[in-house]
Structure 1
Amino acid sequence: MTTIEAGTELPPLTVTIRREDLVRYAGASGDFNPIHWNDRMAIALGLPGVIAHGMLTMASAARVVTDWLQNPADLVEYGVRFTKPVVVPDDDKGATVTFSAKVDKVVDGSAEIDITAIFGDEKVLGRARAVVRVS
């Protein structure tokens, strides 16, 4: 990692989420809510279709930071607000989410990093911020 200062941009990350990823995540997390696998149920509840688990989207966003860190354990704080769902179509293409991140400030051995998650033309996470240890 090079010198970390305010304005430093992290390498972007693009993640494709497919229906089979939702099945795997449901098994790992125990979240079998039908909005994550059943179009009929998702639409009946007012959603545009099956959506990715929010925590799966959140974990994917964290990767833009942990992939950049020399030691992923240097991620000491992380939080997001969920603002829009990631709709995962029932096809081979899936849903592509692009993550970018930029250092907002560096203070007392920590860097605060703002993360942006874009699906289609919309931000799907709000106030996504990581705090990392820097030396």
Structure 2
Amino acid sequence: MTAAVKYDEVEVGTEIPAVTYPVHRHNLVMYAGASGDFNPIHWNETTAKAVGLPDVIAHGMFTMAEGGRFVTDWAGDPAAVLDYGVRFSGMVVVPNDGGAELVISGVVEQKLDDNKVVVALTARTGDLKVLTQAKATVRLA
């Protein structure tokens, strides 16, 4: 766990530096086991292409979870996240060779009472934005 960010250390507009999360097929298989979502489009290239996808795609909830990980790592405490929501706007395509990269960054959008802030997230793979309206309400130290 990282050191806790303090409420007094951030302002509206404070940028949270981007973090790159590598995504490989084994990550998706592990996520399938943890989530119970064994849809083969998330691990089997033949099935994914047979239904018209370019290749295997990451679970939407996997992508959302990486956004949650980004926020909790920044805040320094998983319990600090009070609310978190996203809309899915694009797919993270995960080729067998090399995998994919999910790049997540954030900015403090609002400061609220009781040491709470609203963080707006940006999640991209290449030039494609894969999450929209991604926001977390976080209580800081």
Q: Structure 1 length normalisation: TM-score?
A: 0.93
Q: 1:65 and 1:38 mapped to 2: Cα distance?
A: 30
Give the counterpart letter for 1:51 in structure 2: I
The CA RMSD over aligned residues, in Å, is: 1.2
Give secondary structure in 1 for the equivalent of 2:31. Answer: helix
The equivalent position to 1:99 in structure 2, one of 97, 104, 109, is 104
1:120: Cα distance to partner?
A: 1.0
Does the aligned pair in 2 maintain the 1:11–1:64 contact within 8 Å? no
Identity fraction in percent: 52
1:13: Cα distance to partner?
A: 1.0
Counterpart of 1:87 in structure 2 is 93
1:6: Cα distance to partner?
A: 0.5
Aligned residues: 134
Does residue 15 of structure 1 match 2:18?
no
Unpaired runs of 5+ residues, structure 2, are none
Unpaired runs of 5+ residues, structure 1, are none
Question: Which contiguous aligned blocks of 4+ residues in structure 1 show a shift greater than 6 angstroms?
Answer: none
Counterpart of 1:123 in structure 2 is 129
Give the counterpart letter for 2:109 in structure 1: D
Give secondary structure in 1 for the equivalent of 2:95. Answer: coil
